[in-house]
């Protein structure tokens, strides 16, 4: 097999999660991955496809998932055996900072001559600090689109070329990496997403090439629940206060003046490609009406030409009109909706940055139900501007009101979870916390890295607000989770046995959080370590206190067919020579 140019490694959030005690918190209950966030960024898939199309050989290895799945998986042994031109590690979300740095250090230890490259939005925000503080990292590729700069960088590494001309790159001068830190201008900011692709056929071929299904597996239950995603854009037109993906943050951090969209016909084609191979649900990331109605309607027109049976999940930033829902219903037989009102309290919602009221939300639900939406997920959040403990519980009361109003529908599913573990660097609140009533505990990379080593998510949280302390955020989360869990049982959204098991987990997590609080007050750090060790031992604590502690993870699952994959089509794709969708190949 030809030598690899790049191995992309996805780290767990906490490298030592198999040994280190800790309660990672309930945030992962409302995403498909476990508390170690083993789901690698969707950008890995587009990078791999783009780089291979440009003549480079790339492999993705989901280290987090391998560690989670196999207690004996030896990361160091695995890394030692690899011999690529360079290693790439994602630091997209700060939750991965400890794992990303630990993994980078291991790589450098076994391969001192091999460059280690970091990318992602958090790496972009902290690029200079990262190169200054962590000598085992050689390059940071900045911005929301790193495909082209990465091709240039890999060629420069291979050909011992000049790094000074590579856009978006932060690097150290001198071949031994001891020189000045250089920050090249962030000028590669593509206007659209038509030259990149999330092509699952590409991933299938790589799985076969490297005989490594776990290395490419997106999250732990993926083979039983093969949910996939397509994306409409990079960037956003909204500016929600705590979001690191808001328009203002993208402008200041990624030099993006306006979002880049994928051509609506290409978006539909992405979905058709998935549907040919997999029968699982497909999530459309980014509101199809964000670029304007014309974009959404062009996409729906394309979808209408080839009705597919997969469940399609739409995410909306604001509730669409009935007329637009009618278009969706005409084009997509199985459509589902997800929307994040954040809070029932319109003042809190507005303060967060969502510009709609409850009437608009309820009208949207009525329309979606009338027009045959298969399921509607509502996501509420804890830790918002102007939100109090009482307001969090008020959100659960509002959920009761909605469940009563739409009782006969039976597919309206509310979720509530904390804004955790970190406020996104670069978000408005992170930049000027006092202005929005926030108090920030950690600002630097090192402070965040250390926070992830603390024993519970209360100490990991990098903020509290004028209206809620860390304790309020933690305990209102469990209380709201408990009340919502009971509501779901009462309205038949989950069975009694599931509800009882979730409630038991919540109670156990609360007891454990309080016990950790007691231990943390001990003055002697050694004694603290000793007492924490048996209380919270690694993997056991992960399962017991950090998983399904505000809701049962399976509640998230959209419907899927019993046979989840089209094995014949997959086989054909694997055997077929690759046919490009790009004309310039
Ligand atoms: S949270 Fe708000 S700002 Fe962030 S991506 Fe969603 S709509 Fe855009």
| Tens-place pLDDT, residues 175-224 | 666 789 999 999 999 999 999 888 888 888 888 888 888 898 887 877 77
Question: For residue 455, is it within any domain?
Answer: yes
Q: Which atom of ligand 1 is nearest to the CA of 249?
A: 3
Question: For residue 70, is it within any domain?
Answer: yes
Domain check: are 401 and 468 in the same one?
yes
Domain check: are 189 and 239 in the same one?
no
Q: Which residue range is the domain that position 277 belongs to?
A: 226-556
| Tens-place pLDDT, residues 342-368 | 999 999 999 999 999 999 999 999 999
Indicate the length of the chain as a whole number: 585
Say if residue 72 is exposed, middle or buried (CB neighbours under 10 Å; 0-12, 13-18, 19+).
exposed
Domain check: are 452 and 371 in the same one?
yes
CA 243 to ligand 1 centroid distance, Å: 6
Question: For residue 120, is it within any domain?
Answer: yes
Q: What SS3 class is residue 183?
A: strand
246 CB under 6 A from ligand 1?
Answer: yes
317 CB under 6 A from ligand 1?
Answer: yes
* DSSP string covering 535-574: HS-HHHHHHHHHSSSSS-GGGGPPP--SS-B-HHHHHHHH
| Tens-place pLDDT, residues 116-137 | 999 999 999 999 999 999 999 9
CA 475 to ligand 1 centroid distance, Å: 26
Positions in the chain whose pLDDT score sits under 50: 578-585
List the one residue out of 51, 55, 56, 13 whose CA is nearest residue 31.
13
Domain check: are 421 and 482 in the same one?
yes
* DSSP string covering 91-140: --SGGGHHHHHHHHHHHHHH-TTS-EEEESHHHHHTHHHHHHH-TT--EE
Domain check: are 254 and 185 in the same one?
no
CA 238 to ligand 1 centroid distance, Å: 6
Check residue 565 and give its pLDDT: 58
Domain check: are 185 and 238 in the same one?
no
Cα separation, 573 vs 569, in Å, equals 6
Phi and psi at residue 160, in whole multiples of 5°? 50, 45
Domain check: are 183 and 300 in the same one?
no
Question: For residue 561, is it within any domain?
Answer: no
Domain check: are 425 and 503 in the same one?
yes
Q: What SS3 class is residue 287?
A: coil
Cα separation, 563 vs 467, in Å, equals 49
Residue located nearest, by CA, to atom 5 of ligand 1: 245
Cα separation, 506 vs 492, in Å, equals 20
Give the position of tokens 């009462």. 490
Question: For residue 252, is it within any domain?
Answer: yes
Domain check: are 151 and 259 in the same one?
no
**Which are the contacts of 532, defined by CB distance < 8 A and separation ≥ 6?**
21, 455, 516, 519
Question: For residue 525, is it within any domain?
Answer: yes
Cα separation, 213 vs 354, in Å, equals 40
Question: For residue 27, is it within any domain?
Answer: yes
Check residue 315 and give its pLDDT: 95
Q: What is the CATH classification number for the domain harbouring 47? A: 3.40.50.2300
Question: For residue 285, is it within any domain?
Answer: yes
pTM of the model: 0.91
379 CB under 6 A from ligand 1?
Answer: no
Q: What is the CATH classification number for the domain harbouring 363? A: 3.80.30.20
Domain check: are 250 and 373 in the same one?
yes
CA 320 to ligand 1 centroid distance, Å: 16
Domain check: are 188 and 231 in the same one?
no
Mutate to test the pocket of ligand 1, among 92, 231, 236, 343 (most ligand atoms within 8 A of CB): 236
352 CB under 6 A from ligand 1?
Answer: no
H or E element in which residue 576 lies? none
Partnered with residue 34 across adjacent β-strands are: none
Check residue 570 and give its pLDDT: 53
236 CB under 6 A from ligand 1?
Answer: yes
Cα separation, 554 vs 548, in Å, equals 9
Q: Answer whether 68's CB lies under 8 Å from 215's CB.
A: no
Check residue 580 and give its pLDDT: 47
Residue located nearest, by CA, to atom 3 of ligand 1: 246
Check residue 583 and give its pLDDT: 41
CA 379 to ligand 1 centroid distance, Å: 13
Give the end-to-end CA distance of the chain in Å, rounded to a whole number: 23
240 CB under 6 A from ligand 1?
Answer: yes
Residue located nearest, by CA, to atom 2 of ligand 1: 240
Domain check: are 24 and 123 in the same one?
yes
Mutate to test the pocket of ligand 1, among 233, 237, 241, 245 (most ligand atoms within 8 A of CB): 245
Task: Give the count of domains, the chain.
Answer: 2
Residue 454 CB neighbour total at 10 angstroms: 15
List the one residue out of 266, 264, 271, 250 whose CA is nearest residue 297.
264
């Amino acid at each position: 097999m030809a030598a690899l140019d790049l191995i992309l490694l996805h780290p767990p959030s906490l490298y030592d999660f198999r040994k280190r005690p800790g309660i990672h918190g309930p945030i992962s209950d409302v995403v498909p991955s476990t508390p170690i966030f083993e789901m690698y960024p969707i950008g890995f898939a587009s990078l791999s496809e783009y780089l291979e199309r440009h003549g480079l050989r790339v492999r993705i290895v989901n280290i987090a998932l391998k560690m989670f799945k196999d207690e004996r998986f030896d990361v160091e042994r695995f890394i030692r055996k690899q011999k690529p031109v360079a290693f790439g590690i994602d630091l997209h979300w700060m939750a991965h900072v400890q794992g990303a740095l630990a993994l980078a250090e291991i790589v450098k230890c076994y391969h001192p001559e091999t460059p280690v490259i970091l990318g992602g939005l958090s790496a972009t925000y902290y690029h200079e600090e990262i190169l200054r503080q962590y000598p085992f990292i050689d390059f940071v590729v900045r911005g929301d689109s790193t495909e082209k700069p990465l091709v240039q960088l890999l060629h420069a590494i291979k050909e011992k070329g000049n790094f000074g001309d590579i856009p978006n790159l932060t690097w150290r001068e001198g071949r031994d990496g001891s020189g000045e830190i250089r920050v090249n201008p962030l000028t590669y900011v593509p206007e659209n997403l038509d030259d990149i692709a999330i092509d699952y056929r590409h991933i299938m071929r790589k799985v076969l090439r490297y005989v490594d299904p776990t290395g490419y597996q997106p999250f732990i239950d993926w083979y039983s629940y093969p949910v996939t995603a397509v994306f409409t854009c990079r960037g956003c037109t909204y500016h929600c206060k705590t979001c690191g993906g808001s328009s203002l943050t993208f402008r200041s951090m990624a030099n993006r003046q306006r979002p880049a969209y994928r051509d609506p016909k290409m978006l539909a084609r992405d979905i058709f490609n998935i549907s040919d191979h997999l029968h699982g649900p497909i999530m459309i990331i980014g509101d199809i009406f964000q670029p304007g109605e014309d974009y959404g309607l062009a996409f729906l027109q394309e979808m209408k030409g080839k009705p597919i049976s997969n469940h399609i999940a739409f995410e909306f930033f604001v509730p669409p009109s009935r007329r637009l829902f009618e278009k969706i219903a005409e084009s997509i037989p199985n459509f589902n909706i997800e929307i994040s009102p954040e809070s029932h309290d319109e003042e809190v919602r507005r303060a967060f940055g969502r510009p709609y009221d409850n009437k608009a939300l309820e009208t949207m639900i009525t329309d979606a139900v009338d027009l045959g939406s298969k399921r509607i997920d509502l996501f509420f959040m804890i830790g918002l501007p102007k939100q109090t403990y009482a307001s969090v519980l008020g959100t659960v009361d509002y959920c009761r009101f909605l469940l009563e109003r739409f009782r006969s529908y039976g597919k309206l599913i509310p979720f509530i979870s904390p804004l955790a573990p970190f406020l996104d660097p670069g978000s408005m609140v992170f930049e000027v916390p006092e202005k929005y009533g926030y108090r920030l505990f950690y600002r630097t990379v090192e402070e965040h890295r250390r926070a992830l080593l603390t024993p519970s998510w209360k100490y990991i949280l990098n903020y509290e607000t004028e209206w809620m302390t860390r304790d309020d955020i933690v305990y209102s989360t469990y209380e709201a989770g408990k009340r919502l869990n009971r509501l779901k049982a009462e309205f038949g959204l989950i069975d009694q046995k599931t509800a009882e098991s979730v409630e038991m987990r919540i109670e156990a997590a609360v007891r454990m959080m309080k016990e950790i609080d007691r231990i943390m007050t001990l003055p002697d750090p050694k004694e603290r370590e000793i007492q924490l060790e048996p209380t919270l031992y690694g993997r056991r604590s992960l399962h017991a206190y950090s998983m399904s502690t505000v809701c049962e993870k399976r509640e998230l699952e959209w419907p899927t067919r019993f046979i989840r994959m089209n094995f014949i089509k997959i086989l054909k794709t694997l055997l077929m020579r690759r046919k490009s969708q790009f004309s310039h190949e």
